[in-house]
Amino acid sequence: MASNFSASKNLGGMAEAIDLTGDGGVMKTIVKRAKPDAIAPSENLPLVDVHYEGTLEETGEVFDTTHEDNTIFSFELGKGSVIKAWDVALKTMKVGEVAKITCKSDYAYGSAGSPPEIPPNATLVFEVELVACRPRKGSSVASASDERARLDELKRQREMAAAQKEEEKKKREEAKAAAAARIQAKMDAKKGGGKGKGKGK
* Residue 107 among the catalytic residues: no
Which residue among 39, 63, 72, 106 is the active-site one?
A: 63
Kind of pairing between the strands at 26-32 and 62-65:
unpaired
Do 99 and 15 form a contact (C-beta atoms < 8 A)? no
Paired with 29 in beta bridges are 100
* Residue 63 among the catalytic residues: yes
Which residue among 73, 75, 107, 109 is the active-site one?
A: 109
* Residue 5 among the catalytic residues: no
Which residue among 73, 75, 107, 126 is the active-site one?
A: 126
Which residue among 52, 73, 75, 107 is the active-site one?
A: 52
3-state secondary structure 58-108: CCCCEEEECCCCCCCEEEECCCCCCCHHHHHHHCCCCCCCEEEEEECHHHC
* Residue 19 among the catalytic residues: no
Which residue among 64, 73, 87, 118 is the active-site one?
A: 64
Which residue among 18, 30, 83, 101 is the active-site one?
A: 83
Active-site positions? 52, 63-64, 83, 109, 126
